Amino acid sequence: MPAPLHPCAAFILLLLLAAGSALAAQPRPFDARYHVQVDGWPSTTVEHRLSRDGTYWQSDMRATVAVARGHERSRFIADETIRALHYASGYRLLGIGKNYELEGEALARLPDRQSALFDLSRRAVADDCEATCRLRYLDHRGREERVDYRRLDRGILDLPAGRFEAVRVEVTEPDDPDRRMVFSFHPGVPGLLLAMEYHRNGEQRSHLTLTHLTLASDGLASSPKGN
């Protein structure tokens, strides 16, 4: 049986499985596919789609492993700030699971975590936060969560999907900085995650890597391998 997950590692699975500023780039629809490996679990493929429906944007993540599957979907408005409108998710483990939904007053107070991930990607590029900043959001049950983040140096990532410039952000829990995640975002495509690592007590416990990317229009600065 898979080893139990610490809540911070569970955040990764729930974000990916069931797992703003005026200066930021404008959103662009995309379809992305990732390879994910978490210690004690089989590796899996995660699909993430960002699409537009009129004035709304929708972020949809889903994945399946041998004994579990999950999805998350969020609808929001992406102006100078993010306004979350509706969130739905569902998870199954060994055939047993539950569905969740957030909307109305709850999301008027804080964004869901899909909207928050999109917001974090824009803050990573445009924020003028000099040290550590805080992001507040609602988990799938509607409970408030807090994480601290700080921007790291930019870098170049050679991934199965191509070669990309990346804006890197370190995310930690306020009460436990030994558990941290490093997100790598594309600076020109808000919400597009290129890679992610989860570290605990100085050791990398899981990672996510972009393996395929399709954009609705041309212009992404990437160099696919083999071309």
Task: Write out the chain's pLDDT in tens, 227 residues.
Answer: 444 444 344 444 444 433 333 344 678 999 999 998 888 777 889 999 999 988 899 999 998 776 677 889 999 999 888 999 999 999 877 777 889 999 999 999 999 999 999 999 998 887 666 678 899 999 999 999 999 999 998 999 999 999 999 999 999 988 887 889 999 999 999 999 999 999 988 888 899 999 999 998 644 444 334 33
Which candidate, 187, 91, 81, 92, places its Cα nearest to that of 135? 81
Three-state DSSP class for 69? strand
Number of other residues whose CB lies within 10 A of the CB of residue 14: 21
Report pTM: 0.81
Q: So what's the pLDDT on residue 126?
A: 78
Number of H-type helices and E-type strands within the chain: 3, 13
Q: So what's the pLDDT on residue 130?
A: 64
Q: Quick one: how far is CA 7 from the chain centroid?
A: 16
Three-state DSSP class for 19? coil
Element holding 40 (H helix, E strand) = none
Measure the CA–CA gap between 145 and 188, rounded to whole angstroms.
27
State the pairing for strand pair 193-200/176-185: antiparallel
Number of other residues whose CB lies within 10 A of the CB of residue 147: 20
Tell me the one-letter amino acid at 119. D
Helix 113-126 × helix 7-16 angle, to 10°: 100
In angstroms, what CA-CA distances link 40 with 1, 2, 130, 205, 211? Answer: 8, 5, 37, 9, 22
| DSSP, res 123 | H
